[in-house]
């Protein structure tokens, strides 16, 4: 592959992002430029800090109800792509390739397998989601459109082996067509000192960072709080991220009588979230399903013990009791025990934090870039 091959990245988030998809797209674009590629980004994102990158703005329809406006963005991307001479089109969210009909080789990245896991019985969602009927309808729509989009792409990358395996089986896509490319960012591992740990443990704060709060396990965390507060009166939970169901989560907080111990902080600029990681005591995200979990790496880099769901790509990242803790989805009792242990058992806490630093170093940006370029070479 020539060092000046032209790569077009189509992404709903760039620079001023709100999820792992945006972080991935932003770091990938910059890394490809540094590796000598010509890069064009088509996105409704922020054109700041795009040195060496051609940026073409597009926007989703104001009537588009899909998350991130991906459905209307797929058409917007396709119109722009018609005017570009490129070697590869890379949809950083694979389903956004839905409207693409060009001849240039195209690949897509899989960040989740939520829709591939979709159940056609709507009652499946009733226990875990307050918006279960609406969610079932939306998941049904996305499952059908995503299947069509993914099957016509030249190749796919997945953020974990678990994601690749689920999508391959659900959509009848040959396994060899999907390559696992782990997310990787050059996160600075910031050591913690005794004074910081003392402050963290004095009035401990649990932290959750994520948009789809129900799927990320927020209801389960909230249900652990009443019992935990009996033992740790100063305990606080901070929730960072926006979601249409936050109102229902606040209602649950009121029902549980824990209003003074839960803070909903909304969306926060990515660079500023580091401060919240730094001051928190434990990062908790016991997801019902998870493709990978970039936020786990971000928390590890700031010296936080992490607790995740025993599902999906999280199992490829967290080893229970070694670099974090795992709980089964929906298991309120075990989650409470793991939170308590990560605060009270100081020797285990220190071990988990140290092993977390080692884990972060395995997921470098250059590794992600090299694996992606390797995939490009196989496609061209």
Sign of the Cα torsion 185, 9, 38, 175 reads positive
**Using CA atoms, how far apart are residues 293 and 295, in angstroms rounded to an integer?**
5
Cross-strand bridge partners of residue 57: 43
Sign of the Cα torsion 72, 77, 83, 88 reads negative
The pLDDT value given to residue 269: 86
pTM over 0.95: no
The pLDDT value given to residue 2: 47
User: Residues 310, 328: contact at Cβ < 8 Å?
Assistant: yes
Q: Under DSSP, is residue 265 helix (H, G, I), strand (E, B) or coil?
A: strand
Q: What is the mean pLDDT of residues 66-84?
A: 96
Q: Is 235 a residue whose pLDDT tops 50?
A: yes
Q: Is 1 a residue whose pLDDT tops 50?
A: no
Which stretches of 44-130 are assigned E, i.e. beta strand? 53-57, 88-91, 106-110
Q: Under DSSP, is residue 308 helix (H, G, I), strand (E, B) or coil?
A: strand
What is the four-CA torsion angle of 223, 226, 231, 232, rounded to 10 degrees? 80
**Rounded mean pLDDT of the chain?**
94
**Using CA atoms, how far apart are residues 15 and 48, in angstroms rounded to an integer?**
7
Give the residue carrying structure tokens 């928390």. Answer: 299
Taking alpha carbons only, the member of 158, 170, 146, 25 closest to residue 97 is 146
**Using CA atoms, how far apart are residues 362 and 207, in angstroms rounded to an integer?**
24
Other C-beta atoms lying within 10 Å of the C-beta of residue 52: 12
The pLDDT value given to residue 380: 87
**Using CA atoms, how far apart are residues 11 and 31, in angstroms rounded to an integer?**
15
Which helix (H) or strand (E) is 222 found in, with range? Answer: helix 218-231
pLDDT in tens, 245-292: 899 999 999 999 999 999 999 989 888 999 999 999 999 999 999 999
Q: Which domains does the chain have, with CATH numbers?
A: 6-185+364-379 (3.40.50.2000), 194-362 (3.40.50.2000)
User: Residues 264, 247: contact at Cβ < 8 Å?
Assistant: no
Cross-strand bridge partners of residue 75: none
**Using CA atoms, how far apart are residues 75 and 42, in angstroms rounded to an integer?**
12
Q: What is the mean pLDDT of residues 181-198?
A: 91
**Using CA atoms, how far apart are residues 122 and 137, in angstroms rounded to an integer?**
8
């Amino acid at each position: 592959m020539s060092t000046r091959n032209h790569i077009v990245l189509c992404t709903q988030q760039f620079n001023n992002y709100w999820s792992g998809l945006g972080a991935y797209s932003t770091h990938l674009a910059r890394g490809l430029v540094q590796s000598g590629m010509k890069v064009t980004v088509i996105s409704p994102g922020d054109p700041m800090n795009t040195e060496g990158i051609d940026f073409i703005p597009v926007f989703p329809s104001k009537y588009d109800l899909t998350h991130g406006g991906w459905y209307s963005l797929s058409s917007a991307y396709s119109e722009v792509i018609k005017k570009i001479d490129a070697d590869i089109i890379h949809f950083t969210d694979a389903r956004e390739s839905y409207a693409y009909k060009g001849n240039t080789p195209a690949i897509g990245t899989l960040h989740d397998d939520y829709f591939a896991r979709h159940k056609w019985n709507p009652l499946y969602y009733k226990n875990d989601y307050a918006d279960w009927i609406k969610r079932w309808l939306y998941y049904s729509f996305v499952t059908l459109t995503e299947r069509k989009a993914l099957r016509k792409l030249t190749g796919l990358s997945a953020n974990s082996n678990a994601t690749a395996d689920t999508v391959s089986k659900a959509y009848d896509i040959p396994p060899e067509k999907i390559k696992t490319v782990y997310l990787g960012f050059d996160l600075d591992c910031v050591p913690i000192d005794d004074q910081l740990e003392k402050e963290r443990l004095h009035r401990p704060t649990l932290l959750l960072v994520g948009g789809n709060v129900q799927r990320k396990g927020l209801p389960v965390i909230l249900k652990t709080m009443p019992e935990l507060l009996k033992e740790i009166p100063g305990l606080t939970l901070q929730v960072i991220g926006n979601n249409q169901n936050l109102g229902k989560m606040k209602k649950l907080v009121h029902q549980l009588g824990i209003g003074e111990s839960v803070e909903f902080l909304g969306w926060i600029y990515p660079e500023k979230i580091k401060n919240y990681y730094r001051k928190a005591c434990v990062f908790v995200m016991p997801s019902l399903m998870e493709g990978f979990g970039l936020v786990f790496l971000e928390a590890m880099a700031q010296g936080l013990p992490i607790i995740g769901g025993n599902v999906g790509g999280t199992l490829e990242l967290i080893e229970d009791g070694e670099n974090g803790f795992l709980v089964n989805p929906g298991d309120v009792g075990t989650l409470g025990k793991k939170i308590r242990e990560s605060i009270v058992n100081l020797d285990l806490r220190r071990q988990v934090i140290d092993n977390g630093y080692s884990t972060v170093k395995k997921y470098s940006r250059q590794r992600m870039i090299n694996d992606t370029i390797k995939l490009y070479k196989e496609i061209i």
